[in-house]
């Protein structure tokens, strides 16, 4: 692992690091905020998964999360959204290829050699950071925005007991029935739609649910509502009687202005679950 930068931030340290990933076969970059309390021992960790076109940097500099994490005494991790490098396949469209890993393990060429973001987020990166930093492996929570909200929800429901809580900002809620999903799943996973269901949070919610609290915030003026399909996830939560909250925030769009407006709520939500 290499240290790219470390900056003092709200009494803690905001670092950026790179490492060779076994999952993707490439060098990967991530951001990690450690609060001041990490100097005295392991602290809880909140994962933040970002959306289409993002790198590790977007949420790290735009969400305004470090202030609230510092006050709560928790760490924040900001992974990248896809493998990078000249050898990595890409596409001219913004919603496929680099910056658009969709948190799945690709099985189709030319994506299969490197686009293994499911393994990267659930196995590769955790194995690294829990060895290298003062983080409490038994105290984890997860959140994300848009494509990252999709990833946070599907990962949380697929690893019972790993995360105390899950939240999402404007998640891609029904990718198997949306152009934000069907296009990418066909490219990454192939034509067999039976393999897609494990990466659809609305379907997982109906079938499996989450063994903890759930918080979803969706902007009522989001320009991508027809692609996100929030009604599918809200309906699945109601059908399963899932404990949690689904909030439509009037007038908010899909931007980081929306995320930064409610990030304090989400961190407080996760802190309550972690302490509980």
pLDDT 10s digits, 53-92: 999 999 999 999 999 999 999 999 999 999 999 999 999 9
Residue 136 burial (10 A CB sphere; 0-12, 13-18, 19+) = middle
Strand residue runs (E) in the chain: 2-9, 12-20, 27-34, 43-49, 75-79, 135-144, 166-169, 214-219, 244-249
Catalytic residue among 114, 145, 254, 266: 254
Q: Does residue 179 carry a catalytic annotation?
A: no
Q: Assess contact for 40 and 136: CB atoms under 8 A.
A: no
Given a cut of 90, whether residue 266 has pLDDT beyond it is yes
The Cβ-side half-sphere exposure at 12, using a 13 Å CA radius, reads 24
Mean pLDDT, range 30-42, rounded to an integer: 98
- Residue among 114, 138, 115, 113 at smallest CA distance from 126: 138
Confidence band (pLDDT; 50, 70, 90) for 276?
A: confident
**Residues forming beta bridges with residue 17, ordered by sequence position:** 3, 30
Catalytic residue among 80, 145, 222, 270: 222
Q: Are strands 43-49 and 75-79 parallel, antiparallel or unpaired?
A: parallel
Q: What is the pLDDT of residues 177-220, one digit of tens each?
A: 999 999 999 999 999 999 999 999 999 999 999 999 999 999 99
DSSP 104-120: -B--STTTTTT-BHHHI
Whole-model pTM? Answer: 0.98
CA 72 from chain center: how many Å? 20
Interior angle at CA 20, CA 156 and CA 189, nearest 5: 50
Which pair of tokens denotes residue 192?
A: 């067999």
Q: Does residue 146 carry a catalytic annotation?
A: yes
Q: What is the pLDDT of residues 96-145, one digit of tens each?
A: 999 999 999 999 999 999 999 999 999 999 999 999 999 999 999 999 99
- Residue among 87, 90, 108 at smallest CA distance from 100: 90
Instruction: Give percent above pLDDT 90 in the chain.
Output: 100
- Whole-number Å distance between alpha carbons of 271 and 276: 8
**Residues forming beta bridges with residue 2, ordered by sequence position:** 18
Q: Does residue 266 carry a catalytic annotation?
A: no
Q: Assess contact for 129 and 78: CB atoms under 8 A.
A: no
Catalytic residue among 146, 174, 178, 202: 146
Q: Assess contact for 1 and 128: CB atoms under 8 A.
A: yes
- Whole-number Å distance between alpha carbons of 31 and 116: 19
| Arithmetic mean of pLDDT over the chain | 98
- Residue among 179, 176, 219, 211 at smallest CA distance from 195: 176
- Whole-number Å distance between alpha carbons of 64 and 156: 23
């Amino acid at each position: 692992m290499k240290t790219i930068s470390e900056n003092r931030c709200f009494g803690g340290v905001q670092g950026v690091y790179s490492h060779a990933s076994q999952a993707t076969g490439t060098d990967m970059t991530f951001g990690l905020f450690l609060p001041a309390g990490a100097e005295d021992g392991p602290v809880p960790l909140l994962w933040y998964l970002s959306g289409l076109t993002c790198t590790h940097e977007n949420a790290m500099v735009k969400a305004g999360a470090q202030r609230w994490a510092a006050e709560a005494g928790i760490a924040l991790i900001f992974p990248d959204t896809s493998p990078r490098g000249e050898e990595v396949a890409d596409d001219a469209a913004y919603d496929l290829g680099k910056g658009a890993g969709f948190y799945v393990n690709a099985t189709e060429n030319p994506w299969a050699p490197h686009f293994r973001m499911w393994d990267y987020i659930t196995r590769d990166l955790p194995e690294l950071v829990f060895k290298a930093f003062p983080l409490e492996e038994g105290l984890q929570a997860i959140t994300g925005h848009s494509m990252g909200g999709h990833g946070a929800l599907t990962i949380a429901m697929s690893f019972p007991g790993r995360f105390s809580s899950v939240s999402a900002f404007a998640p891609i809620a029904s990718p198997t029935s949306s152009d934000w999903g069907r296009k990418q799943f066909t490219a990454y996973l192939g034509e067999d739609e039976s393999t897609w269901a494990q990466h659809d949070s609305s379907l997982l919610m109906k079938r499996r649910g989450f063994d903890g609290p759930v918080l979803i915030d969706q902007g009522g003026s989001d320009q991508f509502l027809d692609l996100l399909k929030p009604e599918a996830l809200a309906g699945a939560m109601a059908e399963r009687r899932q404990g949690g909250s689904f909030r439509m925030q009037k007038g908010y769009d899909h931007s980081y202005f929306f995320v930064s407006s409610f990030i304090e709520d989400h961190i407080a939500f996760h802190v309550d679950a972690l302490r509980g």
